[in-house]
A and B are shown apart, each in its own frame.
Chain A
Amino acid sequence: QVQLVESGGGLVKPGGSLRLSCAASGFTLSDYHMSWIRQAPGKGVEWVSYISSSSSHTNYADSVKGRFTISRDNAKNSLYLQMNSLRAGDTALYYCAREVMNPDGSGSGAFDIWGQGTMVTVSS
């Protein structure tokens, strides 16, 4: 079935790094734009980063710009998020999510498939 499975979360000290992975199955990853979205404990949902289907375009929330890097390997059906210079404020459950696509190949701004999330805790 169509699913996304995140991994790579854990406990890291402030200033440290982590690399999250998202494995896609049941659909052709190269047909979809993808995003990382996070949710701090007991808080709302925050979009973090976007990558286009062919990796030609990426974008980041201001809160992570310059510290996080999104990438993908369509041949391996995988999405990644390299997180550097981590701060306490980055503590959250990180989801990867698939964007609903329009017939012309553009995204619709909505996310129809989400993983179960991987928890990142930044603490000394």
Chain B
Amino acid sequence: QSALTQPPSASGSPGQSVTISCTGTSSDVGGYNYVSWYQQHPGKAPKLMIYEVSKRPSGVPDRFSGSKSGNTASLTVSGLQAEDGADFYCSSYAGSNNYVFGTGTKVTVL
């Protein structure tokens, strides 16, 4: 399984929006509505932010939103706050109990 492709970095000023892409294939991102997004701060475990493309777990601010078009999923963080600076990973179900993660994106709040 090949990792999903994410840009290495993204940035924005406080209050602005940033969007991260996650590109896979028709065998993973494009084939299932099972894309999820994780936020990871240094030294911490990843935290689920979005699941099933656009659903937010309880407690995740509505500033975080997800979408998908074809083989590419996206995470948008609106109204950037200092604490949003972290690494973000996408993930997709890839069929037959296989899962694949993205390469990761470092978000910097300027």
Q: Which residues of A contact B (CB under 8 A)?
A: 35, 37, 44-47, 50, 52, 57-59, 61-62, 95, 100, 107-112, 114-117
Contact = CB atoms under 8 A, between A and B. Distances in A.
A10 B54 CA distance: 38
A84 B35 CA distance: 31
Which 3 residue pairs across A and B have the least CB separation, nearest first?
Answer: A109-B93, A109-B34, A110-B51
B109 interface: no
- A interface secondary structure, majority: strand
Contacts, number: 74
11 contacts: A35-B99, A44-B102, A45-B40, A45-B104, A46-B101, A95-B46, A109-B51, A109-B52, A109-B92, A110-B52, A114-B46
Contacts of B97: 50, 52, 57-59
B67 to A, nearest CB: 16
Size bracket, chain B contacts: 20 to 34
A111 B104 contact: no
Contact of B51 (A35, A47, A62, A108): A108
Contacts of A46: 3, 101
Contact of B101 (A47, A50, A100): A47
B45 interface: yes
Interface of B: 1, 3, 32, 34-36, 38, 40, 45-48, 51-52, 57, 89, 91-93, 96-104
B3 to A, nearest CB: 7
Nearest to A35: B99
A90 to B, nearest CB: 17
A44 B91 contact: no
B48 to A, nearest CB: 5
Contacts of B103: 44
A5 B32 CA distance: 30
A90 B38 CA distance: 22
A114 B44 CA distance: 10
A61 B93 CA distance: 13
B51 A45 contact: no
A57 B93 CA distance: 15
